[in-house]
Amino acid sequence: MGTRISASQLEDTSHINNNSPIDQGMEESSARLENNQHDDAVEMNFNGIEKENNGDETENNDTIMSVEEKVQDPQVGMIFDSIDEVITYYKQNGRQSGFPVIKRSSTNRDDGNLKYVTISCAREGKSKMGGHENMKCLEKDCRNYIEKVRRLQLGEGDATAILKYFTNKQAQNSNFFYAIDLDEDCRLRNVFWADARSRAAYEEFGDIVTFDTTYLTNKYDMPFAPFVGVNHHGQSILLGCGLISNENTETFIWLFKSWLACMSGQAPSGIITDQDKAMKNAIANYEEIFPKSRHRLCLWHIMKKVPEKLKSYKKYESIRLSLDNIVYDSLTRYEFEERWVEMIAKYGLHNNDWLNNIYEERHHWVPIFVKNNFWAGMSTTQRSESMNAFFDGYVNSKTTLKQFVEQYENALRTKVEKEKHEDSKTFTESFNCATEYDMEKQAQDVYTAFKFREFRTELTCIMYCDRVSLKSDSEILEYQISERIKIGEKKSHVIFNVWFNEHTKEVNCSCYKFEFIGILCRHALYVLIHHDIDFIPDRYIMRRWRKDVTRCHRRVKINYTDWVATPEAQRSAKMQKNFDDIKELANDSDDKCMVVMNWMHNLKEEICKHDGTCKRTEPTPQSPIGKSFEPDVNGLPNASQRILTPLPVRSKGRPPFKRRQSKTEQVIKKRQ
C-alpha cells in the first residue's frame, strides 16, 4: 500500500489515519477515481509502480530508532513542517510496526516546487487491482466517500456574507448582476457575478470569448471560472466570472445559462475552451445556450500534452518535430490530412488512442481548420490563464470566499487603469510610419497603437513578397504570391493564393489573416498596392480595432476605480438614473414593458436622425414573452437567509449572422 501526499497538505494536516478494512477498500477505490479529478488531494495509491530503490531497506544512521524510541501511529490532524519530516516519520513508524518504508516516487509542479510524494512499504510488490469495478463496494459508494472527505469547510456565515456583498453591490448599481445556485438543502453550490462595466464591455468585445477553470485560489479549492475577451488594445478584459463547486456538465450548463442571462441572451460567435468533456457536452448538447456559437479547443492545451502522450516512443523527438510542422505549417486542409497520414505510417502510430482522438477533433483546434473564422487573434485559453495570473497578487490559498470577491475589485481596478493608460497612449504618443504609403497614414489615424503596430509589420513585410503567376476569371483575378520565410537558419519560399475583384476591390488571401485577426495580410496588401489602391477599403477596418470609437463601457460608473466626472460621464449618470426609474415603473407587466420598448425604439430613431450618426439599427421590439435565459435556480435567497456549506469541489457578444456571400467568395469556395 502506498500513500501519496500533496505538498500543499503540509500547510494543514496529514489527513492520514488508520481505517477499518471497509474504509480501506473505499479509499482504494476513491484513489483511482480521484486520479483524473484532483491532483492536489491526498490519496491512497495502489498502482503497483516499480520501486525506485530496492536497496532502501537499510536506513541512514540519523533515522535508526532505538528500542526505547516510540512514535505515535498516524492520526487525522497530524501536522508536518516538511516532506523530509513526513518521510522520516513514516520510516520510523514502519520500523516500529515491523516493515520497511521507502519513498517510491515524487512529482514537481511546473515551477519546480514539489507537488506530491508517494511513500510505500518496501515489500509491496506489484498491484493486481483492475480498477474500481473490481472492488467489493460500488462506484457510487466510492464517489460518496470522496465527497465526504472533500467537503468544503466554510467559516460560519461566510456564504451568507457573499450574498450580502452582492446585494449591496446591486443596490449601488442596478446593472450589477449575480446568480447563486443552492441545492435543496439551501447549500451553496455555485456563484456567478458580473459588474456593470463587464456587461457593457460585452457589447463591444463579446464576439469571441475564452473560458477556463484551471485556477484554484481560494482556500476551499472552488475553481475560478472567468469569461474573458480581448479589447481594442489587445488586452484581456473580464466579461463575468464564477466560482463553481463541481466541474460536471450540469454545473457548466448552470454557469453558461447564468452568464447568458446576464448578457441578455446574446451568445458569442465563438468560444474557446480546453478539452474538458463536461464543458464540451454543455456547449454541444444544449442548443438553447449556444445555438450557433463556434466551439474551439485550446491549441496550447492540446500541444502541451505531446511529451506525456508520445515520450515513450524511441523516435519521440522526430515525431514531435513532425507533429509541430503538420499542425502549425500546413497551408491547406488537404495538406494537413496528407502529412498526418504519412506521419502515422512512418512512425507506426496507428494504435495511439490520443493521436486518434485529437485527429477526430481536428476541426475544433488545428489552425488550418479554424482560421477562416474570426477569433480576434486568439488561439488558446491563455487569455483566461493570464486573467487568472492577474489575480495572483490579490488572493492566495488562505483567501475566504468573501475576501475573494472583494479582492476581485482591487484586481479589476488595476486592469481598468491599464486600459485607460493605453487609451491615453494611443491619442498622445506618436508612432512613426515606416513607409510613404497613404494606407499606413490612414491606419495610424484610425487604429489603436496596438493594432497599428501589427498593420505596420504587415505592410513592411511586402518586401519579402513577389508575384509568381496570375489567372483571370472574368472580374476575379487569382494571384500566386511567393513569400520568402526564414525558419531558424533555413530560408524557403511559400506560395499563397490571393483573389482580387477588380470591380468591388474585394481581396481574399489563403492565409486567412484578415478572417482570423481582423487586419489585412501582407499578401493582400501587395495586390492592393499593385492595383494602385491607396487606402484600405472600409470593409477591412473593423470597429473593434478603431481608436476613434466611443466605447460604452468607458461611460459606466464603477465603484472600484476613480470615476472621472467629465461632462459626458455626468450626462450618462443623469440619464441612467431616469432610465432606472422608468424600468422600475414598467417592470410589473408585459404591456408596460412594450410601451417603454416602443417609446425607446422611436426615441432612438429620432436621435439618430438628429445628428445623422446612428451606426447600428435594431428591429422593432417584439413581445418580451418567449424563451427564458434565466439561470436554473429555485429563486435567489434574500440577504438575511443563512446559506449552508457548499458541497465538495471536483476539480480536475453578439450572436453571429449569416451574410450573403460575395461573388469572390463564391468563386473561391467553388475552386476549393
Q: Pick the more confident residue, 407 or 72.
A: 72
Distance CA 419, CA 228 (A): 15
Of the candidate ranges 10-24, 147-161, 222-236, 632-646, the one whose mean pLDDT is the lowest? 10-24
Of the candidate ranges 76-85, 266-275, 337-346, 375-384, the one whose mean pLDDT is the lowest? 375-384
Give the tens place of pLDDT for each residue, 554-608. Answer: 877 766 555 445 566 667 667 777 787 788 788 888 888 888 888 888 888 888 7
List 467's β-bridge partners, or say none: 481
The predicted structure's pLDDT at residue 17:
40
Helix axes 333-347, 316-329, angle to 10 degrees: 170
Instruction: Tell me: pLDDT of 135 over 60.
Output: no
- Cα torsion 92, 98, 103, 104 to 10°: value is -170
Distances (CA, A) of 32 to 53, 250, 492: 24, 23, 50
Give the tens place of pLDDT for each residue, 355-391. Answer: 999 999 999 999 999 998 999 988 765 555 555 566 6
Give the tens place of pLDDT for each residue, 175-194. Answer: 899 998 887 777 788 889 99
Task: Give mean pLDDT, residues 308-321.
Answer: 93
Give the percent of the chain with pLDDT over 70. 67
C-alpha cell at 106: 515524487
Task: Give mean pLDDT, residues 476-497.
Answer: 88
Length of the chain, in residues:
672
The beta strands (E) that lie in 502-636 are given as 507-509
Q: How confident is the model at residue 522 (pLDDT cuts 50, 70, 90)?
A: very high
Instruction: Tell me: pLDDT of 661 over 70.
Output: no
What's the mean pLDDT when you consider all of the chain? Answer: 75
Instruction: Tell me: pLDDT of 237 over 60.
Output: yes
What is the amino acid identity at position 518? G
The predicted structure's pLDDT at residue 411:
77
Range among 99-108, 246-255, 331-340, 411-420 rated most confident:
331-340
Distance CA 507, CA 609 (A): 34
C-alpha cell at 170: 446591486
For the full predicted model, state whether its pTM sits above 0.85: no
Q: Pick the more confident residue, 67 or 264.
A: 264
